[in-house]
Amino acid sequence: MTTRTPLDAGWTLRAVEAGPDVPAAVAGAVLPAAVPGCVHTDLMAAGLLDDPYLDRNEDHQHWVGRTRWRYRSTVALAADRLGAGRHELHFAGLDTVAEIRLNGRPVGRTANMHRRYVFDVTDLVVAGDNELLVEFDPVRTYTDAMRDRFGDLPAAYDQPFQYVRKMAANFGWDWGPTLVTAGIWKPVELVTVEAARLAPVLPLVTVEDLTGRVSAQVAVVRAEGCTGPLTVTVAVDDHQRTVELPAGADTVPVALTVPQVRLWWPVGMGDQPRYDLTVRLADPVTGAELDRWQARIGFRRVELDTRPDDAGTPFVIRVNDVPVAVRGVNWIPDDCFVSRVDRPRYRRRLTQALDANVNLIRVWGGGIYETDDFYDLCDESGLLVWQDFLFACAAYPEGEPIRSEVLAEARDNVTRLAPHPSLVLWNGNNENIWGFQDWSWQEPLAGRPWGLGYYTELLPALVAELDPTRPYWPGSPYSGSADVHPNDPAHGTMHVWDVWNQRDYSAYAGYQPRFVAEFGFQGPPARSTMDRATSDPTLGWDTAASTNRQRAESGQRKILDGLRPHLPAIPSGDPRRATADWHYLAQLNQARAVEFGIGHFRALWPHCAGTILWQLNDCWPVVSWAMVDGDERRKPSWYAVRRAYAPRLLTVTGATGRRPVVHLVNNSPDPWRTALRVQLHDLDGDLLGGLDQPVELAPAGRYSLPFEVPAAALLLTAHADGPPVRRLLAEDVAVDLPPARLRICPADLPDGSGVALTVEAQTLLRDLVVLADLIDPAAVVDEQMITLLPGERHVFTIHTDVPAADPGWAAPGVVRCVNDLSKGDR
């Protein structure tokens, strides 16, 4: 048998060679250490470090990443187990540059957070207690040495993240703090191999005409003296096959066919049946099981179709031969301290994506290969995963030892993630090919390697060798050819960032891309999130506390510039009021920008085969492009994305230019028959025209209807099956919106789960939002941004413990709309 003993208990932590910045209380202390975990979270648990997510605590904590830390534990081994076989230490993840010692003797060194390490310690263990030390160097010692070796390499940020195989965003990003972690971030085990064990299995899962096939090159690790034949049995549910591993051999190919499988489909396109795959290693003489490996697989085919067409180079992900209209979001690490992200938290976040009609999540290259829970939850729900190899926004060294680390890490993760049906694409890097082309890298590089060899040679060769069932794409953005600009809209994937950085969001309408893998617009997090994160009560767009929570270059100015063409100005004077108005307007503008962009791109279907919004989540409380904030609250943009990503989309483009086009896009697998109704009103709610028309759309069908509008019409309402879509036929700033008059009637929900908040409009009410978190930070509202005509009402359903009788629900500032901003400010 092979026994695996978790070594997660009894760890302590202390600073070694504590420098002058290390507080006295930490310098001599031996603290309890959580494994998996990291130094920052242990220090916080011991009361020795303030929460770096609050106020400006981050500024005073850089010593944590500059200190050498020693983890210590005791590994007990019973005397009768000592000679039982081969003893190994398995580290699923060490962050990052570490030296491991057992009983004072060296075991090994590590320099890569993104891979598993196995060390044979048979000759080092003793019966009884064994002292296990894992000592982490300050990562800068390593990055400084690599910088000396490779010279300065250009990057989008000046921290040395490209010189070490560690999560890049730890060094600070344009949405994240600089918190350079260290620690044992994944489980540790003592593995005792009595005869032989299985190496990690890489199953290739394919399907042809509903016949599933699983094949693998199964490798074993033998204990000394185990030289005879072994048997390997591979089983999928009750189908199984056994092969013999001859005496002395370490690998054997196995293959199994499974007739009449049920196909695994992306969410919204079918079910997600999964099958249990088991590989067993046994002694052929006694039949005793020596080791076992298990995974849950799904049978599906995936292809990336980039065959050139008349318009350029498409980028179409096909699953089971059906093109997927990608409605994606980009994922960043959900916490700077990644060991805190447990399965329930992954489930909450991925559920927020699914609830917003997302069908693909891109794991971005400045983060990590996520833990098994992440991919398992995606498999279960049908959320497709596009996985970047971990390179982002920099020129990377291609020499040793980095090259070998990249290779080892890629091998390990291609193997680890192979069972997951949700994983549909390996992507070489984030923006590095673009960076080389456009970000003035070529002169400082002066001909030195910058990573291209990884993206166009090493990684594609490795994916082709290890896992030919999955497509590989060299980077994002990438056009498919070295001769075409990497961000060419007509070819492959593109990132649309000029809109946020330089241009108004209406500029999305000028793009005809084939696939947009990044685009997005910033907005602040919920007020209660900001209130928790900072003790500055006037937190607004121009205070120091707020700008501390804005990490993007000129971010606050870009938010203001983005508001100006569309929405009233922020009032001067009372800073609390200015803050409240800024917050409402900036959140609203983010929501409108992403709905505008997605609506435009989806209306181009099938020319444009998908969008991946930047970004789903945040890693701490911050102003950012996220649609769910760092305290897990949905921003108004989340509701906008939910609308814009509806599988059956009803949207309107060209509204503010008074050339509206109503679009219906059917990304559901069934035909869509609906009665389209379009109505035109003036601001008093008088009906000025419209039409009723039955529409029938095939699966993957699209229908677009340009609309003539009479001069007096200012509001267009389109109805199909879902909630109506309303557009003002001009910018809010260009229209004389009436001062808001409304009645708010809160009532307890009959099932006691919260409040039904009815808003009755006595005038037009433009983009009503309920800031329920001001009354109850845990409140969740079902809908946001509702425009009402005079005489209409809308009921917001709010999940909350605060009863309807609480005066807060009707207090000023909780229900907001554009036209409650005073006229003088417009």
- 780, amino acid identity: V
- Please tell me what DSSP assigns to residue 736: -
CB 552, min distance to ligand BMA, A: 6
- Residues β-bridged to residue 679: 690, 717
132: exposed, middle or buried (Cβ count in 10 Å: 0-12, 13-18, 19+): buried
- For residue 735, what are its two tokens? 């229209």
- Please tell me what DSSP assigns to residue 137: P
CB 613, min distance to ligand BMA, A: 11
CB 331, min distance to ligand BMA, A: 12
Pick between residue 364 and residue 582 the one whose CB is nearest to ligand BMA. Answer: 364
Beta-carbon contacts of residue 208 (< 8 Å; ≥ 6 apart):
none
Angstrom CA distances, 161 to 107, 155, 179, 614, 630, stand at 27, 9, 12, 21, 23
Task: Considering only residues 754 through 793, tell me which ones interact with ligand BMA, judged by CB under 6 A.
Answer: none
Task: Considering only residues 85 through 144, tell me which ones interact with ligand BMA, judged by CB under 6 A.
Answer: none
CB 175, min distance to ligand BMA, A: 6
* Binding pattern for the stretch 206-225 against ligand BMA, x by CB under 6 A and - elsewhere: --------------------
Pick between residue 625 and residue 638 the one whose CB is nearest to ligand BMA. Answer: 625
CB atoms within 10 A of CB 412: 17
CB 527, min distance to ligand BMA, A: 23
Contact, 799 vs 791, CB < 8 A? no
Pick between residue 518 and residue 767 the one whose CB is nearest to ligand BMA. Answer: 518
Instruction: Indicate the pairing of strand 2-6 with strand 275-282.
Output: unpaired
CA distance 250 to 231: 11
CB 597, min distance to ligand BMA, A: 14
Which of 652, 674, 558 is CA-nearest to residue 598?
Answer: 652
Contacting residue, 13, 205, 263, 393, with ligand BMA by CB under 6 A:
393
Pick between residue 323 and residue 486 the one whose CB is nearest to ligand BMA. Answer: 486
Would the CA dihedral through 103, 106, 110, 115 be positive or negative? negative
Number of residues that bind ligand BMA (CB under 6 A): 10
Pick between residue 496 and residue 759 the one whose CB is nearest to ligand BMA. Answer: 496
Pick between residue 175 and residue 436 the one whose CB is nearest to ligand BMA. Answer: 175
Pick between residue 137 and residue 618 the one whose CB is nearest to ligand BMA. Answer: 618
- Contact call for residue 189 and ligand BMA (CB under 6 A): no
Task: Considering only residues 576 through 615, tell me which ones interact with ligand BMA, judged by CB under 6 A.
Answer: 614
Beta-carbon contacts of residue 720 (< 8 Å; ≥ 6 apart):
648, 650, 664, 674, 675, 676, 677, 695
Q: Which residue blocks in 382-510 are alpha helix, DSSP H?
A: 402-417, 432-438, 442-445, 452-453, 459-466, 498-501
228: exposed, middle or buried (Cβ count in 10 Å: 0-12, 13-18, 19+): middle
Pick between residue 157 and residue 639 the one whose CB is nearest to ligand BMA. Answer: 157
Pick between residue 518 and residue 776 the one whose CB is nearest to ligand BMA. Answer: 518
Q: Which stretch binds ligand BMA (CB under 6 A): 5-13, 138-146, 167-175, 594-602?
A: 167-175
CB 432, min distance to ligand BMA, A: 10
Helix then strand then coil, in percent of the chain rounded to 5, is 25, 35, 45
Pick between residue 430 and residue 487 the one whose CB is nearest to ligand BMA. Answer: 430
- For residue 28, what are its two tokens? 């001599």
Task: Considering only residues 541 through 570, tell me which ones interact with ligand BMA, judged by CB under 6 A.
Answer: 552
Pick between residue 492 and residue 754 the one whose CB is nearest to ligand BMA. Answer: 492
Q: Which stretch binds ligand BMA (CB under 6 A): 168-176, 193-201, 320-328, 416-424?
A: 168-176
CB 520, min distance to ligand BMA, A: 7
CA distance 44 to 520: 34
Contacting residue, 398, 431, 595, 773, with ligand BMA by CB under 6 A:
431
Triad 371, 376, 382: Cα angle to 5°: 130
CB 763, min distance to ligand BMA, A: 39
Helix orientation angle between 343-355 and 372-381, rounded to the nearest 10 degrees = 40
- Contact call for residue 171 and ligand BMA (CB under 6 A): no
Contacting residue, 91, 161, 163, 175, with ligand BMA by CB under 6 A:
175
Task: HSE, CB side, 13 Å, CA atoms: give it for residue 87.
Answer: 20
CA distance 641 to 616: 10
- For residue 241, what are its two tokens? 């096959």
Nearest residue relative to ligand BMA (C-beta): 174
Q: Give first-to-last CA distance, the chain, whole Å.
A: 76
Would the CA dihedral through 392, 393, 398, 400 be positive or negative? negative
- Contact call for residue 430 and ligand BMA (CB under 6 A): yes
Task: Considering only residues 518 through 537, tell me which ones interact with ligand BMA, judged by CB under 6 A.
Answer: 518
Q: Which stretch binds ligand BMA (CB under 6 A): 169-177, 207-215, 340-348, 736-744?
A: 169-177
Helix orientation angle between 575-603 and 555-563, rounded to the nearest 10 degrees = 70
CA distance 259 to 239: 9
Q: Which stretch binds ligand BMA (CB under 6 A): 90-98, 171-179, 206-214, 692-700?
A: 171-179
Pick between residue 146 and residue 393 the one whose CB is nearest to ligand BMA. Answer: 393
Contacting residue, 173, 185, 541, 639, with ligand BMA by CB under 6 A:
173
CB 155, min distance to ligand BMA, A: 11
CB 431, min distance to ligand BMA, A: 5
CB 393, min distance to ligand BMA, A: 5
Pick between residue 64 and residue 499 the one whose CB is nearest to ligand BMA. Answer: 499
CB 395, min distance to ligand BMA, A: 15
Pick between residue 11 and residue 173 the one whose CB is nearest to ligand BMA. Answer: 173
Pick between residue 236 and residue 360 the one whose CB is nearest to ligand BMA. Answer: 360
* Binding pattern for the stretch 348-387 against ligand BMA, x by CB under 6 A and - elsewhere: ----------------------------------------
Beta-carbon contacts of residue 193 (< 8 Å; ≥ 6 apart):
2, 85, 86, 87, 88, 221, 222, 223, 291
Task: Considering only residues 608 through 627, tell me which ones interact with ligand BMA, judged by CB under 6 A.
Answer: 614
Pick between residue 88 and residue 518 the one whose CB is nearest to ligand BMA. Answer: 518
Contacting residue, 174, 731, 760, 783, with ligand BMA by CB under 6 A:
174
CB 38, min distance to ligand BMA, A: 22
CB 626, min distance to ligand BMA, A: 10
- For residue 361, what are its two tokens? 């999540």
- 317, amino acid identity: I
Q: Which stretch binds ligand BMA (CB under 6 A): 72-80, 172-180, 564-572, 715-723?
A: 172-180
Beta-carbon contacts of residue 325 (< 8 Å; ≥ 6 apart):
602, 605, 606, 609, 610, 665, 667, 700
Pick between residue 618 and residue 631 the one whose CB is nearest to ligand BMA. Answer: 618
Q: Which stretch binds ligand BMA (CB under 6 A): 6-14, 173-181, 250-258, 447-455?
A: 173-181
Task: Considering only residues 230 through 249, tell me which ones interact with ligand BMA, judged by CB under 6 A.
Answer: none
CA distance 417 to 422: 10
CA dihedral 680, 684, 685, 686 (to 10 degrees): -70
CA distance 695 to 673: 6
Residue 531's φ and ψ, nearest 5 degrees, are -65, -35
CB 365, min distance to ligand BMA, A: 8
Query: Which positions lie near ligand BMA, rule CB under 6 A?
Result: 173-175, 392-393, 430-431, 518, 552, 614
